[in-house]
Amino acid sequence: MSERGPAPHLPETLGLDAWAPAQIAERVEKAGVAKVHLPALQTFTLACLAGAFIAFGAMFFTVVTTAHGLGFGPARLLGGVAFSLGLVLVIVAGAELFTGNALIVMAWVDRRVRLAELLRNWGIVYLGNLAGSLGAALLFVLADGPGLGGGAVGASAAAIAEAKVALPWSTGFFRGILCNALVCLAVWLSFAAREVSGKILAIVFPIAAFVALGFEHSIANMYFIGLGLIAGMPGITLGGMASNLVPVTAGNIVGGGVFVALVYWLCYRRTG
């Protein structure tokens, strides 16, 4: 597999304390190579953490948007900022998130990782994210989280789960594309930052945007629908969970792998 540096005609600096786009592309590609070579147990454990971290963001979202007294837009913005906690924890604390790992496509198209290595990473990480999100949902139920606000949080959680399992496949797919384009852009921007504060700031706005716009994130949905299953909420079934996760996951792969990773590979890593 070939090593490729930044294209020679591109600027190496933005004149700011940040990595330039060509340098970001190189760093993202190197990170993808490192990810696929992690041992399976380490990958799975880090993926469990990521599932739990996204679940924390989803819990926070549910609480702050319950009985908010705000209009539609402000409430969605508030919820989006709260949900950003999940990706902040993934990036800063360190964890393996399926949606963010769509960026490994850049290393694959540059022939620095094999397709089998890419699929192995995605499979392990997806299962770990599922385990982490469901484990966090179980703990939230055992802690009587749905009982917060006199049961108002549980009612909000039920409404979220019901809406997700009722989502048409085509809608879930396209919302999944839009969601992970923003999530992978958030990860991409975090690679530009040199300090923790910059990484956090880079993450918040794209994540708040996808939540406010109602796009669909497969790992967050594992928690939202999983909570409904664990809490025994009416109308929430394994079949309903699958009917959401299949199209949303496919959309997430396209949104991150094609519209971010592949596009930036064409801009900054393709030679010839």
pLDDT tens sequence across 2-46: 444 444 444 444 446 789 999 999 999 999 999 999 999 999 999
| Rounded CA separation 225/245 (Å) | 10
Residue 261, in any domain of the structure: yes
Residue 176, in any domain of the structure: yes
Residue 194, in any domain of the structure: yes
Look at residue 16 in the predicted model and tell me its pLDDT. Answer: 62
| Rounded CA separation 143/63 (Å) | 14
**Amino acid letter for position 89:** L
Residue 102, in any domain of the structure: yes
Kindly report the pTM of this predicted structure.
0.93
Of the candidates 47, 52, 55, the residue with the CA atom closest to the CA atom of residue 101: 47
Cβ–Cβ < 8 Å for 113, 104: yes
Percent of the chain with pLDDT over 70: 94
Looking at every residue in the chain, the average pLDDT score rounds to 94
Rounded to a whole number of angstroms, the CA Rg of the chain reads 19
Look at residue 18 in the predicted model and tell me its pLDDT. Answer: 86
Look at residue 99 in the predicted model and tell me its pLDDT. Answer: 98
Of the candidates 63, 79, 77, 250, the residue with the CA atom closest to the CA atom of residue 157: 63
Compute φ and ψ for 73, nearest 5 degrees: -60, -55
Domain that holds residue 191: 21-268
Beta bridge partners of 193: 18
Percent of the chain with pLDDT over 90: 90
pLDDT band, residue 62 (cuts 50/70/90): very high
Compute φ and ψ for 268, nearest 5 degrees: -125, -15
Average pLDDT over residues 216-233: 97
Residue 10, in any domain of the structure: no
Write the DSSP string, 55-75: HHHHHHHHHHTTT--S-HHHH
Number of domains the chain contains? 1
Residue 70, in any domain of the structure: yes
Cβ–Cβ < 8 Å for 51, 227: no
| 11-15, 55-59, 186-190, 214-218: segment of lowest average pLDDT | 11-15
124-171 per-position pLDDT tens digit:
999 999 999 999 999 999 999 999 999 999 999 999 999 999 999 999
Look at residue 8 in the predicted model and tell me its pLDDT. Answer: 43
Task: Calculate the CA dihedral of residues 260, 262, 264, 265 and round it to 10 degrees.
Answer: 150
CATH code at position 62: 1.20.1080.10
Look at residue 272 in the predicted model and tell me its pLDDT. Answer: 64
Look at residue 271 in the predicted model and tell me its pLDDT. Answer: 83
